[in-house]
């Protein structure tokens, strides 16, 4: 796939160009490369390229994102933040800017199949559902074919006829003389709405629209390993297209509830584990919870607070992959705040034997111990 050209280079303006300079450059280039006046084989592609550049640079918010991040700032991942440039119609921009439908040959483009609008929704998962994956039922509110007329817009038993206003073309035209010659102003037929057909009697259920808004339920498989902000695309589950075009897409944004004990860092899972002074000093084998069940962790003698143990492969699976992150167990040595008389006596004896051998790095621990003992 060829790398996209710089938008400023396409319009032939500098990065400091004013809005008026950008509009002037677009006006000149759009007239030069409009396929209805330019017969070169690559004229239409250049025309699309010019319109795409103008669509970004003429919008302050889009232009700022482009200046900062380049093409990535205006293309998006999954749902394009400024619209899908693969589906946008450059002739619409030309019409909005000049007020014309073209120079005599754009009707086929106006009546060509158009993709429907995309739909977005947010789906909230529990931590374990994000870890293991799940089949979740969602509700989608969108337009569906009318159940009475089956999408025709006509009352059952009646038919459609050719629109008398546009003669079935779906457009009405008006020729205007300009500096560029005769220009044809093309607008959607107000009678038939661009379909070229009118119904004899509108369907009583959808009032001739052909669609009705309904809420449908659908089960969606959520892959293991998804995280907050993960976006899932379901192709063809959006709003219906026009003129026989495909449906838009459904974009599901994932939100994951926090866990009572675990935290997530990319594909790793973090667990804060409290152990007592005896376990830290003498060492111990401890059963540690993981998302896959308990596993044994050997704590060596002399373990300090802040020590991290890594349980490999116990983290989140990588989406659509066989690899997985790790679980990181962060040790916190729990110093008791209250002691029984017997425990106090034992700690006092221990403190006497350790005090002469204490090393600088162990002073913080001994100081805390003395605080507990009141010394």
User: Is the pTM of the predicted complex or chain greater than 0.85?
Assistant: no
Full pLDDT tens readout for the chain, 375 residues: 467 789 999 999 999 999 889 988 988 888 888 776 777 878 888 888 898 899 899 888 889 888 888 887 776 543 333 344 444 555 555 555 555 444 444 445 555 678 889 999 999 999 999 999 999 999 999 999 888 988 888 888 887 888 888 888 888 877 766 555 556 677 778 887 777 888 888 888 888 888 899 999 999 999 999 999 999 999 999 999 877 788 999 999 999 999 999 999 999 999 999 998 889 988 999 999 999 999 999 999 999 999 999 999 999 999 888 899 999 999 999 888 788 888 888 877 777 776 555 555 555 555 655 555 554
Q: Which of 251, 169, 179 is nearest to 27 (CA)?
A: 179
Q: For the stretch 198-208, what's the b/e string if a residue is b when 16 or more beta carbons lie within 10 angstroms of its beta carbon?
A: bbeebbeebeb
Instruction: Report how far Cα 81 is from the mean position of its chain's Cα atoms.
Output: 9
Token pair 């159940």 is found at 147
What's the DSSP call for residue 87?
A: T
How far apart CA 35 and CA 101 sit, in angstroms, is 12
- The CA distance from 243 to 247, in Å, is 11
Are residues 328 and 270 in contact, defined by beta-carbon separation less than 8 angstroms? yes
363-370 long-range contacts (CB < 8 A, ≥24 apart) are 365/304, 365/305, 365/333, 368/335, 369/277, 369/335
Domains and CATH numbers, the chain: 1-98 (1.10.287.110), 259-334 (2.60.260.20), 336-375 (no CATH)
Phi, psi of 98 (to 5 degrees): -100, -25
């Amino acid at each position: 796939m060829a790398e996209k050209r710089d938008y400023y280079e396409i319009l032939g303006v500098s990065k400091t160009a004013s809005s008026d300079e950008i509009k002037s450059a677009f006006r000149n280039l759009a007239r030069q490369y409009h396929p209805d006046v330019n017969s070169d084989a690559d004229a239409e592609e250049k025309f699309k390229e010019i319109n795409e550049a103008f669509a970004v640079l003429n919008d302050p918010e889009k232009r700022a994102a482009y200046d900062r991040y380049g093409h990535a700032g205006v293309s998006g991942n999954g749902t394009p933040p400024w619209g899908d440039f693969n589906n946008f119609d450059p002739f619409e921009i030309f019409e909005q800017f000049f007020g014309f439908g073209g120079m005599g040959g754009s009707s086929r483009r106006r009546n060509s199949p158009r993709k429907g609008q995309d739909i977005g929704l947010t789906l909230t998962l529990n931590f374990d559902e994000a870890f293991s994956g799940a089949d979740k039922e969602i509700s989608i509110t969108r337009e569906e074919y009318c159940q009475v007329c089956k999408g025709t817009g006509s009352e059952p038993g009646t038919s459609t006829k050719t629109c008398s206003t546009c003669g079935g073309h779906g457009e009405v035209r008006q020729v205007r003389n300009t500096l560029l010659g005769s220009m044809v102003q093309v607008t959607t037929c107000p009678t038939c709405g661009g379909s070229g057909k009118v119904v004899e009697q509108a369907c009583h259920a959808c009032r001739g629209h052909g669609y009705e808004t309904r809420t449908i339920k659908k089960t969606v498989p959520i892959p293991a390993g998804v995280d907050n902000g993960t976006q899932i695309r379901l192709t063809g589950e959006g709003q219906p297209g026009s003129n026989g075009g495909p449906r838009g897409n459904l974009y599901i944004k994932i939100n994951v509830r926090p866990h009572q004990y675990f935290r997530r860092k990319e594909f790793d899972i973090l667990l804060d584990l409290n152990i007592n002074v005896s376990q830290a000093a003498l060492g111990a084998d401890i059963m540690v919870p993981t998302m896959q069940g308990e596993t044994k962790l050997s704590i060596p003698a002399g373990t300090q607070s802040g020590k991290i143990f890594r349980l490999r492969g116990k983290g989140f699976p990588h989406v659509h992959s066989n690899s997985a992150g790790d679980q990181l167990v962060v040790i916190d040595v729990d110093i008791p705040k209250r002691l029984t008389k017997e425990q106090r006596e034992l700690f006092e004896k221990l403190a006497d034997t350790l005090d002469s051998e204490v090393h600088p790095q162990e002073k913080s621990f001994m100081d805390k111990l003395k605080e507990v003992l009141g010394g």
